[in-house]
Amino acid sequence: MPQVNFPPYNIVKTGDFTYDIEMALAGFGKKDIEVKYADNTLTVNSVQSEKDESEDPSVIHRGISKRQFKRSFTIADDVVVNGAELKDGLLKVSLEKIVPEAKKPRTVEIK
């Protein structure tokens, strides 16, 4: 089974209950990527474009390839996907853990 290591990604804690999954996708545009969330699985995959860029005669050397990929993450029941943004070759998917008020840590006043 081939090792799945593309695209590289980070998981970053951005707040007490918020996280971002960051994926390095240099050369990909919004139309080249699909983000789906269903049955506790977040899936990010490349979408085959209608035009095959490998046949573009104006490209002399192709060192940046848009290889096909599919990367999946298992998301807990209490986590929601708030959105995705592609900026400067970095796809950022925002996640939030929903914690009921009763379970959030709180400071108890000492009398």
Band of residue 5 on the pLDDT scale cut at 50, 70, 90: confident
Band of residue 50 on the pLDDT scale cut at 50, 70, 90: low
Going along 18-63, which residue ranges are E strands?
A: 18-24, 33-38, 41-46
Q: What one-letter code names the amino acid at 40?
A: N
* Token output for 65: 């390839």
Using the CB atoms, write b or e for 67-99: b if 16+ within 10 Å: eebebebebeeebebeebebeeeebbbebeeee
Band of residue 59 on the pLDDT scale cut at 50, 70, 90: confident
Average pLDDT over residues 52-78: 78
- Residue written as token pair 């990367």: 71
Q: What is the CA angle 21-39-68, rounded to 5?
A: 55
Handedness of CA 58, 63, 67, 73 (dihedral sign): negative
pLDDT above 60: residue 109: yes
